[in-house]
Every structure is written in C-alpha cells, then in structure tokens.
Structure 1
Amino acid sequence: MNQTDYYAVLDVSEQATADEIKRAYFRKVREHSPEEDPTGFQIVRTAYETLSDPQKRSDYDATRAFGGQIREWMDEAVEAMEDEEFDTAIDLLKRVVALNPHAYAAWDMLGSAYFAEEEYGNARRVFLKLVQEQPDVASHHLHLGACLLEEEDLAAARSALRRAHELQPYNAQPCILLSRSYRESQDWEQAIQWLERAIGADGKEDMFDFDALVELATTYVLMGDPDRVHHIGIRAEKILPADPDARRYGAHRFAAVGAMLHQARAFQAAAAFFAVASRLAPHDAQLREIAHDTDVHSRALRELDRLVHDREVVEPLKPICAYMVYGNLGLDEAKEIKPVAERAARDLSYHTPFDLQQSVRAIERKYPAVYELASDFFRETNIGRGGTAPRQQASSDVPDGCIGCGCWILIGIAVLAFLGQCNH
C-alpha cells in the first residue's frame, strides 16, 4: 500500500467525488480491519479523513502537486526573514499561499513580514484570517493584537490580547502588550498590573521577564515616578544571560530607558541605566560616550548644590556655572538664570585676576563635572587662565580692590558676548 498517496490508498482517482471516496473507504476498511491489520486500517482512516474534508483535501492536493516548490520557497522566505529582506520574503510567501491557501505557517510568516515592514493593515488582515480559521491558536490572537495596537485601536487590541492570554496564561507577551495598551491611555494601574502578571508568568526567569521589567521601568518613568526604576534595573540586569546577542539586546533596552530618564530630568537614574548599557556592550563607542556624558550631567547637578556654598569660589562665577550646566542639559532653568548670569558677568570686574584664577582652579579640582560642562566658557573667555589684562589703578567710581576699566572691558565684553551667543 502506498502510504503517501491517499488517492492510491483508497484506490480512487484525483477527480473522485465525496460519495466515491466514502464508498472506497468502506471497501478498504473491510480489507484492512482494525483487528487484523491495525496499521493498514490507520492508513486508510487517515486517507479518508483528509480526502473527505474539502479544506484538508485542497491542502493535500496543493502539497502533493507543488510540495517541492513550496518547500523551496519556504526555505528561501525563512532566509530572507533572517536577513531582514522582508519584501523578498513577502513575495515568496504570497506564492506559497497562492498554491496552498491552507499553509498556515506561511500565512503566519507573511503576516510577520508585513508587520516588520510596518504594513500594519496588511498584517492585520492576514492575522484576522488566521484567527477566524484557527481560533484556538494563541499566537494568531497575539499577533493580531500587536497589529491593532500599532493602529491605535486599543479596544480591539485588548480583546485580541486577552484571548491570547486566556489560551496561554503562561506566556508573558500578551501581558506586556496589554500593559502597553493601557499605558497608551494612561491607565497606569492596569498597565502595572499586567506587567506584574507577565513577570514570572511561566514560572522561571527568562528574557520575557527581562522585557517585562524594562517595560515596568518605562511605565514608572512615563507616569512621573522615575525614582522607582533603579531597583528594577538591577533586577533586570541579573536576568540577562551571558549570550552576546542577549547582552547587546539588553544594552539597547537599557539605553532606551536611560534616554527617557534623561528626558524626564532623572539624571542620576539615567546615568545608572546608561552605565549598565555600556557594560553590556563594552565595544560600543557611542554608548560609552553617552554613558560618560550622562554621568557628567548627573554629577554636575549634585556638584552645583555644593558649589553655591563654597567660599573658595567668587560669587559671580556661581550663577554663570549654573547657567552653563543648565544650558548643556537643556533645562528651562537656563532661561530663568541667564539674566542673573549676565549681571554676574559684570560683577566679575570687581575681582582680581588672581581671585578668578584661584576660583576656576577650585572648580576644576572640586567640581570636575561642572568644570567640564563650563569648559567652553572658561576657554573662550580665558577667565582664570592669566589671559585677562593686568590690574590697573582703581578710579574714584570703582570700589577699592577691583579691576580697573581696561580689564573690565576685556572680561565684561568677553563674558557677555559668550553668554549672548548661547541659545540655551
């Protein structure tokens, strides 16, 4: 008996009607009874179940006629997906489903290729077809929910994702996407609850738990509570395996949260997340630079709190340094303090070059992050580096001990010009 050709098993032609297939089945069952020939009976039974179902028969006919070609196209499509050549994959997969409309694996891959190309409408139509034809497959509902979420149809997305969660309660992905849907509508309580369900959903710590923890950190940042993310970051880093690809992925996720924290002015937390990202991807020069800059920003703000009380630094330099720090960080405080910094620039003329030089050296020694962010100011104005004019005889309308008119012109014009160029 030819086990692979169901038409030969039942001894019918490829054009056989449903009645002919049924009669052939009963005839073959008598020849291969379950008691005397259980193996032969099972082959006959499988052939009948396939050919008596119109959908299964169509699928079988396509595979039988074009099996080699379909397998070749599928292999090429998988390779194209791995190379992120999604247009090529889409073309190949469309050929597959045209020959075999019930090749669900090909349909699923086609939907994923459309999604990767951000063709969310086409992806949604593919996954909606799969949901209708295979309603008990959780991944179809998950992918449909992801498409609807991208299209901002939050209610429909939640419905699809809840169904995916019902079918696979141990899968963290539906929970993570449900959390994002509630985050979009700023329902923070629901967003956090779904992430808490995602963490440990399958009873073990894995990359899905890492993603859920990063999403939790992101949610706290967006809801204006960045102080809670530090311990989440520590826990997330511990989950990451030693695999290089996983660590590069982790670096990307940590850097993304770090950028959000920086934008939220949580500079200390941002520095911590960027430092982790830099550790996870030690050969990424750009990440190292960002981690350094963020660390400088974080330290500079803390240093400013001490600088304002430091008697070793002349008073006018303090608001000028604050202005430079705020400006480099893009903070609104820069606009508020700029008039104060400009007045302070004029007051610099009341201090000797020696006092200014000692103050700048104190800033460089005790407040290195502030000095780094204000370095352009010190370099271009040459304050504290011996570049000012020598002290002149004080006139009657200038307080005793201050720099005379010539030095005031050099310092005042240089400082005010520099501050005027700043568009912080």
Structure 2
Amino acid sequence: MKATANQQPSGTRTSSKPVVVETVNYYKQLGVRVNATPKSIEAGYEAKIKEFPQEQYPEEFRKIREAYDNLSDPIRRDEYDFTRKNGSTQKLDTLIDKGTDAFAAGDFRLAEELYRKVLELKPDHSGASIALSGVYLAEDKLSMFDEVWKKVEALSPSTRSSVIGTMLQIRVLLQYERYEKALSVARALDKKHRAWRRVYLTDYTDVLMMNQLGDEAWGIYEEMAGELKEGLDEDLNENNDVELKGDTLQFYFYWIKIMVYTNKMQFWHKVKQEIRAYLRSLPEGAERESAVERLLEESRELAENRAYKEALLFAELAHYIDPGNPAVQQQRTLAQGGNKLLLETDRLIKDKSMYPGVQAKANDFFTSEGYRHPAERLDQAPPDGMWPSGGAEHGDYFMTEGIRIMKRKYPHVYKSHQQLWDKLMS
C-alpha cells in the first residue's frame, strides 16, 4: 500500500482492489494483552522466538518478527490499533469481504452499498471508511471521497487519531495515484499538526517524492536530523503517558533513499555517521536484532530490483553492528558483487571501443531475468567507421571477438551470465 521514497509517478490508473484493513492479531501472536507495556511486548517476543526458532520454524518466526516490529514501535502500534479499533464481528467481516469481491468484479454500486452498511452498523469502522473512499476514487467522485474522510475526522477522539486517520487517507490517495490531491492533504496536515511531523513524516515524504519534490524532502530530513541529534523530540501524547517519537530507523531508511534519489551522495559520510551513532545506542537483544533484520530486508529488496549501490549501503550498516552474523555476511557479499557488476556494466556500455552488439546484450542481461532468445543472432550495426562492413557473417565475427575482449576487460559482466555469453559465442 505504501509508496517507497525512490518511486516515480507513472501516470493515473485505477487500482484493481481497495485498501483492506489487516485482520492479523499481533497481540495474540506474541501472547500479550492489547494494553501490554513495551517491556511486556519485548518479553513476549523473546519467549516466542525461543519457542519457535528461525531455523526450525521459519514461517512462524517471520510472523512473530512482524508482530514485534509492529507493536514495538509506538507509531506502527497506534496505526494498527486505530484500524482494528473495538475489534470486528463475523457479520461485519462478511460484509467487508463481499464488498471487496464486488469491487474486484467492477460492481462499484454493490461495493458502496456493502461498505455503507458496515458504517451504519459501526460508524467508526476505519476499514470500511478506507474501502469506501477507494470506491469513490475509482469512480472519480472526489467530493464523496472528501465526505468520507470528514466523517472520519469528526469521529476522531484525539489529535493522535486524527493524524493517523489523515495518514491513512494519504495512503489511499497514493495507491490510486492521486498525487496532487495527496500533496494538498499532506500540506494541510503539516500546517495544522507540525509538531506531529515525526509521526507522519514517511507518508509526507512519499507524497513529496511522487510529486517530484525530492529537494524539499531532503531539506526536511536535514532539519529533522538536527532535531534528532539534539534530542528535541517532543512528548506528543496528550495524556503524557506515552512518548511518540516515530520510527527512528525508518526515518534513516528514507533519508538514505532521498539522498540517492536526489543524487546527493556527497553527504553519505555525514548520514552514515548519524545512523551509526543511532545503531550503537540500541540495546543488545530484540531491539538490535530487529534493526539488523530490517536493514537486511531493505538490502535484499533493493538487490532484487538490481539497485545494488543502495543495497550495499544497507548491508554495510547491518555489518557495522553485527559483523559476525552469517546472513549479514552473505547479503553484504551479494551486494558487493552486484555493485561491481553494476559499475562494470556501466563502464562497458560507455566504452567506445566495445562492439555495440556486446554492449546491447550486456544491458539486456543486466536489466532482464536473462537472455530469453538464446538462438537469436545479433546483427546490430556498429557506428560508422568503428567496424568494417561485411554483413551478418562479419557481424558474428565481431560479436565473438567483442565477447572475448569483454571477458578480459569486464570479468564481472562475463561471470554474471557466463553460460549465456558462452552460448552466444557458440
């Protein structure tokens, strides 16, 4: 549901399904009560991972980790509690499920009717409000969309719930690629509740990035990094019993992504030093383990999308605080290799002495899952004056010779798809 900081707008489209509230019971997964203290949540987590170690129960361990990550952070927990407020009943769940099916089938009228029925029975059912607002966006009924969220705002008992409700509204708008509308809502939120910016910062960042406002986002993060460093976090809870500081690690994740997206790598040393200071401050145990796992997850996701340079940044941070972890070592090595491949591929493509057919295939191998047509013969014409003419037969010769040169000059490019290169030569 959530956009990432380095995504770019891709035009308006209608989502195939509405946003639906998760029904996973994180409290039950950790074996704690809904009013559990942070210490009780950590104790529940420690007990569960001992009962279900990762090596023997990978799926159970993943669910336990997910539950802990969502409940140990006050903002995530607040969002989770908001969307599952007062629980649910079988009747309401059935109506929501039928509404989701109707929406997927394109029957917006029936979906609207079902979601409205839920809200008649339970006016503060956030899941139904979110889904109904998605129906109105799909039908391009912006005034009706606004009406839904005005009612959510009116039913919000506190500033905190109001802010979280607006965050969910922004996410729905981003999912349906209503970037300008999302920017308007986000700016209004920032103007009204600036003191809460740490809470809604990542959503605000998503909006800025989707509207190509990366430099503005960078300025905000530099400002807030200074606040973090000086310990200026405010107690945002109206009852002064819980301090909401936001997800600090997520803050740094986004700062790195914005740095890369806005091409400000000259600031990496500064950003890295501040992140390392934060990581060093984490106590041994569940909190530090969770940070390592989140760094690894981020690195893996970036590597899967061939963003090896960024993947290496996160892998190096994980290695900094847990160098002996085999999973960290493995991911770091993978990211290092991918980064070398990326640099070599870039140099090869810019190498004017290389045969263009080799350059084209190197780019194809890097950007696709693999060479989909191994029997296909390249006959791409080289630039005038670089290679003698002579038709396909000469083209085959220069392709073969080009691969041999590439194998020597760019070994990572060759080794990354050795079988494909060898097959192409033969």
Tell which has more relative contact order, 1 or 2 (C-alpha 8 A, sep 6+): 2
Between structure 1 and structure 2, the one with the greater Rg is: 1
Could you tell me the TM-score, scaled by structure 1's length? 0.46
**TM norm structure 2:** 0.46
